[in-house]
Amino acid sequence: MGIQKKSDREKFSQLRQTLLHLASEIEGLVKPLFSDRPVIKGTVYELKRKCGKSGCKCARGELHTRMVVSASEKGKTKLQVIPHGSLGEVQAKVRRYQELRRVRARLGEIYRKMLKVMDEMEAMRREEVSSPDRKGS
């Protein structure tokens, strides 16, 4: 028979609109997932350190610098030195990885919201089975 009360029909319509909006957001988010371009897990930064040799410039405060990628694997942080001349390429791959992770997190949020909306819509539509009168039993 459908939803009878006007306020319930309006609420149901709002829930439908919310569901459609979330579904359209998913469509825009998944495009980066279709790319086959390589990614690198981690963060790029400049590592500054002393080598420990007493006569070295780093002993006077001029630290050695290298660009590295830092990533956690099995609970441990691993550093990888970026070869000279490869910084731009590595940074692009790291950015693509970070974008994939942001998209993945947002998709999780959207799916949780969609399930909540669908549960509300189902509850509004649900009817109980009416049992026949048991007169004379």
**For the chain, what are the domain ranges?**
6-88+99-125
Mean pLDDT of 27-31: 88
Please give the pLDDT value at position 5.
Answer: 85
- Whole-number Å distance between alpha carbons of 104 and 115: 17
Per-residue pLDDT tens digits for 51-74: 888 889 888 889 999 999 999 999
Place of tokens 């988010």: 29
pLDDT at 89 over 90: yes
pLDDT at 40 over 80: yes
* pTM given for the model: 0.74
Residue 69 · residue 82 · CB < 8 Å: yes
Instruction: Choose between 67 and 133: higher pLDDT.
Output: 67
Residue 11 · residue 124 · CB < 8 Å: yes
Please give the pLDDT value at position 135.
Answer: 57
Contacts of 97 (CB under 8 A, 6+ apart): 39, 40, 41, 42
